[in-house]
Chain A
C-alpha cells in the first residue's frame, strides 16, 4: 500500500545571486495515516524548510510531495500549519480567527449555524471557548498557540503540520499544551508532522522520530520507532525503560554523531 503522505526525493537549494546553498538533500519519508511523526535536528538543518515544502509554502528544487498519491505543490487547508509564532491575526478576536478558516474551508459544505458550531467545537477542543471574544493581544503565548491549533484543526486537514509549536513557551505551559495535543491526537487520529528541537517532546509525542543531519545539504540520518503504548502519561514515562532508551538514542544521534557545528 502506498503511503498516506510521501516526501519523495526532495532537494532544496537556495540561490542568492551567484551563491548556491544546498539545504536539503535526498529527503524521502513516508507517513502513514494517523501517524505522529517528529522531525528533529539542530537549528539551521533545514527542518523548517522541509515543513514549508510539505505545506507548499516553499517550492522544492527537486522531488515532490504526494498526499494520498496526488502531488501537492501549493499551500492548502488539507495541510494546515500551526506556525511557530502563532500567526493569529491581531485585529480579529479568537473566535473570528478560527471562524475565518472555517468560513473559507466549509463555505459550501456547512450552513452558517454549522460553521458557528464547528468553530466553537474546535475552540472547546483546545479549551479556549471561554476566551472566544478576546483578541490575540489579550491572551498569553500558550493560549495563542492553542488558538492557532484550533484554527488548524478546524480545517480538518489531512495532515497537521506543527512548526515548533511549543518552542516559544515556558516549560510548564509547554507541558500542558503537549498533553492537549496528545489528547487531541488520541481522540481525532490526525496525521501529524511536527518539527521540534526538544528531545523529550519528540519521544513523548511521536510514533516515529526522524533525525536530520547537520546542514548544509542535510539528510535524514536515522529514523527511530517509538514503541511506547498510548495513551502516554508523562509521569509514568519518566522512569520507563523504553522511553529512556529512545531518549538516549536521539541524544546520541544529536550530540555524538552529529554535533552542532557553529560554523555551519
Chain B
C-alpha cells in the first residue's frame, strides 16, 4: 500500500518538502501525493524527477490532483 502525502491547501514549497521527505524515507518505492493547485502539481512532478522517481499517473480528485509517483 503506497503511502499518501496530503499536501492539499498548502502553498509552495510545503508540498515539495513533504514529498521529498517521504521519498527519502526508507522502504518507499511508491507514493500518492494529493495537491489542489496546478503549481503544486507541476512542482511535485518536477521534484519527483529530480529525485530519480517518475510520475506514474495523475488523476483529478475533488477539484485537485492525485499524483502517483514511483521509483
Chains A and B belong together in one complex: no
Residues of A within 8 A of B (CB): none
